[in-house]
Amino acid sequence: MSDAELATPFRQRAGGAMKDTFLQEALTIATTKFIDLRRDAFASFPEGEALRDQARAIKEATLQHLDQHLETLIGNVERLGGHVHYAATSAEARSIIVDIARRTGAKMAVKSKSMATEEIHLNEALEAAGVTPVETDLGEYIIQLAHERPSHIIAPAIHKTKGQVAELFSRELKRPAEPDPEALTRIARGELREKFLQADLGITGANFAVADSGTVVLVTNEGNGRMVTSLPRVHVAVMGVEKVVPSFTDLMVFLAILAKSATGQKLSVYTSLVQGPRRAGELEGPDEFHLVLLDGGRIAQIDGPLREALSCLRCGACLNVCPVYRQIGGHAYGYTYPGPIGILLTAMLEGTSAVKDLAHASSLCGACLDACPVRIDIPRMLIELRREVDDKKIAPWSERVAFKLMAKLLQSPRLYRFAARSGRLLQRPFARDGRISRLPLSFGEWTRTRDLPPVAARTFQERWASERDLRA
């Protein structure tokens, strides 16, 4: 999202999203479907629970010695003839990739779906360098045509109805398009075939990188990933440093739960294993292979409060079950990664100030923790972020004063009783028929849509103290 759009307060962005009837329809249908698919996938997979624990344990153990696993990975990728680059920041990652494009004389880059490249805003940098980026994942293709950004980690165009996609295709591709998913897919495939053949550069992310064999693993459903990694002369894979796993044995644990969590599939349609450039005697594959290892704030969190978030597999399950995401969709969050995990990743990549409002965009219902394949305790870390926002005085002073007052009140039964009595007096003009339907100031935020029970004529403790029947 642009700085101008981010200048709109989060609450207003969320409000806008809730007024978008197309978005509301699309969100309800898609998230409900994802929730059901995931539930069914795990219901018929009794090993799932133990594998989730195992996956988390592997991630934790890998983070303990991340430097060693990365060294092993780098050694093996180079042994296979690939090049490895380290990018401390998004800007460094962009310039590494733009340099590769320039040096190889690339004019067009085909891309398979990658949140890492979204994170570093790669497409804009490529365009500025005279390289045309072409998204080849159907969802990404749709939002590229619409000049938008992904609103979901695995379903980037989740916010669009099929009718909107048909309109978009008709307008942008200047040909009639029916609101039928199969027909729309056929159109996109036709458009993209040529691009695959023209492109000089193939750019992907990486779901995993297996250290002990130097293998980049791509989990996809459309087959475009294979074209991107095999047809162009040069393949660049971009991955967060935390994506490394030690061995294929470890990889199997993740593959067993990733697709089930994401789309409810037993496995994704394609699991592509890429090992360096084309070797002598091989028929396909690029001349050059580059792996860009991206830090961007991750390494600092290995012993930071957001460490757990480094285990994220980017499956999107926490978005689908989040009551907030389900109302507002991904764009309202304002950053590359939406939803509950997105708030943590945004704090990791952009700093705590960026999430001073987003940290409160959760009812702490815990559905995300339940759905997370590696059991990341997202609610706990959201509370940690709130604490940091308070401690560093990023939260508004009025709010901090209000909570300090509340703290005083809750530590003193005398003040607490006084507050109850005051509440009873102050509510008099507003209480009717045993409920309060309208209140001034910020209390009105509650009563605009809900009644509030009045403070009881006698609190329970007052009754306990005075009614002998109750005590006896």
Fill in the DSSP letter of residue 441: G
**What pairing do the DSSP bridges indicate for beta strands 431-432 and 244-245?**
unpaired
**What pairing do the DSSP bridges indicate for beta strands 215-220 and 208-210?**
antiparallel
Question: Closest separation between CB of residue 463 and other proteins, Å?
Answer: 6
SS3 22: helix
Size of the site for other proteins (CB under 8 A): 62
CB nearer to other proteins: give 236 or 322: 322
CB nearer to other proteins: give 211 or 328: 328
CB nearer to other proteins: give 84 or 394: 394
CB nearer to other proteins: give 22 or 403: 403
CB nearer to other proteins: give 11 or 171: 11
The set of residues, in sequence order, having a beta carbon less than 8 Å from that of 81 and lying 6+ positions away, is 276, 277, 279, 289
Spell out, one character per residue from 436 to 465, where the chain touches other proteins: x when CB under 8 A holds, - when not: -x----xx-xx-xxxxxxxxx-xxxx-xxx
Spell out, one character per residue from 387 to 406, where the chain touches other proteins: x when CB under 8 A holds, - when not: xxxxx-----------xx-x
**Under the criterion CB under 8 A, does residue 386 sit at the interface with other proteins?**
yes
- Going by C-alpha positions, the residue among 57, 113, 76 that lies closest to residue 253 is 57
**Under the criterion CB under 8 A, does residue 385 sit at the interface with other proteins?**
yes
- For other proteins, which stretch binds (CB under 8 A), given 59-67, 125-133, 266-274, 412-420? 412-420
**Cβ neighbourhood burial of 18 (10 Å; 0-12, 13-18, 19+):** middle
Question: Closest separation between CB of residue 72 and other proteins, Å?
Answer: 37
Question: Closest separation between CB of residue 318 and other proteins, Å?
Answer: 13
- Going by C-alpha positions, the residue among 285, 371, 320, 373 that lies closest to residue 55 is 373
Instruction: For CA atoms 463, 464, 466, 470, give the dihedral sign.
Output: positive
Concatenating the DSSP letter of every residue in 280-309 gives: TT-SSS-SEEEEEEE-TTTGGGTTSTTGGG
CB nearer to other proteins: give 281 or 398: 398
Q: Which stretches of the chain bind other proteins, using CB under 8 A? A: 11, 14-15, 18, 323-324, 327-328, 360-367, 369-370, 383-391, 403-404, 406-407, 409-413, 416, 420, 423, 435, 437, 442-443, 445-446, 448-456, 458-461, 463-465, 470
